[in-house]
Structure 1
Amino acid sequence: MSLFSWLRKTKPRLDAAQQQRLLQLPTPCALGDGSLRSQRWVVVDLETSGLNLNRDQVLSIGAVVIEDGAVDFSQLFERTLHRADNRLSPSVLIHGLGPSAIAAGSDPVEALLDFMTFVGDSPLLAFHAPFDQHMLGRALKDSLGYRLAHPFLDVAEIAPLLCPDAPLREAGLDDWILHFGLHVGERHHASADALATAELMLILFSRARQQHIDSPKALQERLGQWRRRKNAPSF
């Protein structure tokens, strides 16, 4: 046995039907020059067992779709994943995910296959996207052996990019909801937070068009420019 073989994780074991579903997942598309309105966007929010990027697990996935300039309520996704280890941090209990809900959750392989089928080739949006992107990517790799390659834009960056005059710095989702006077229902639950993020994003898409940012590719490019300016050293 290789000296380092114990460090390698066991390859996920999928049955024939699961393997077939995995092979049928579409290849993600790069952001293009079509209109922002015509693009199908999947807004996602995750609940996790904690904030450690390498140890904690995805417990719940909520997602909604923005298409044709509106939230499409016929396209909703919500799933709690079964986890055998029910040691939960206090923050998880705030989200209403107790041990019984997680014990009764869906098989992670099936849940993640269902979610990626729901996503299709669409780009993803999330508030504080790097965390969700990392956690989702790790879950997909561990459970399916799948590499997440979809465009993944951060609403927490898009908001200050498009609203430079807003008196907000390092703002959270609740701050932007209050700033725009949005009336949202339940919060701190994956599907509810995804819906709140989607409603915020509809306002931001309108701001983007007013600033002549008319395509997903243009939005991505403008976001990259904004990020470079923000991170540039000051002299």
Structure 2
Amino acid sequence: MNIFRRWWYQYKFRHHSVKKLFEPYRGEELVSLDCETTSLDPSSAELVTIAATRIQANRILTSESLYLTLSPPDSLDAGSVTIHKMRHQDLRHGLDAREALTQLLDFIGNRPLVGYHIRYDKTILDRYFRQMFGFALPNKLIEVSHLYHAQLERQLPNTCYDLSLEAISRHLDLPPTERHDALQDSITAALIYVRLKHGDLPALISPG
């Protein structure tokens, strides 16, 4: 978000608690974010679950993670259940979207957001936020697959790489996960970020 738009939102929400969201972030924490949705089309997908995990330097605060389930959306059908494995009965105690997004805002504040395909998640969240609150999330985005690719390019320029979450995790020697859900994927993205920022990237080829 450019500086002029930030100023506009700070003025627009000058008497509202969300004003601080549009101030530049001065801290050192980040938040790893992931969402499960009813489809892979960000223009129409509806939120099913949201998860977020704080990162402090090389520490991932899993004990303080946020995990929210939403009420079953209208587009939840058998096809979408195959994507995220969340059925209507799993969401019967879910939050309405406004309450879930309010809790998410309280958790993330204006911290930078880390994730795998984070722009996909933010596109969907922004659609909800614009509809319900009148603004899109202003947070800076950090895509872990881009960080990973940039480091590999320094080893083997102009080479094709497998940038799937599973392949990145294997190459970085991260622990395997039994089930992918929003919380686990947010933690995995956080682990990738910390490993890339605070560890050595394993060589793609062994010296011989």
- TM-score range normalised by the length of the shorter chain: 0.7 to 0.9
Secondary structure in 1 matching 2:21: coil
Secondary structure in 2 matching 1:140: helix
Q: Deviations over 1:181-210 (max 9, x none)?
A: 2113343200011011111111111259xx
Q: 1:154 to 1:89 in 2, by over 3 A?
A: farther
Amino acid at match of 1:116: L
Higher relative contact order (CA 8 A, sep 6+): 1
- Tell me how far apart the structure 2 counterparts of residues 68 and 156 of structure 1 sit (CA, whole Å): 19
Count of residue pairs brought into register by the alignment: 183
In the TM superposition, what are the counterparts of 1:1-235 in structure 2 within 5 Å?
23-25=16-18, 26-30=20-24, 39-88=28-77, 90-164=79-153, 165=155, 169-206=161-198
* Worse-superposed segment, 189-198 or 199-208: 199-208
Percent identity for Structure 1 against Structure 2: 23
- Give how far 1:93 is off: 3.3
Gaps of 5+ in 2: 1-12, 201-208
Secondary structure in 2 matching 1:163: helix
Q: 1:59 to 1:45 in 2, by over 3 A?
A: same
1:218 corresponds to: none
- Give how far 1:141 is off: 1.6
- Give how far 1:24 is off: 1.3
What is the alpha-carbon root mean square deviation over aligned residues? 2.5
Q: 1:197 to 1:187 in 2, by over 3 A?
A: farther
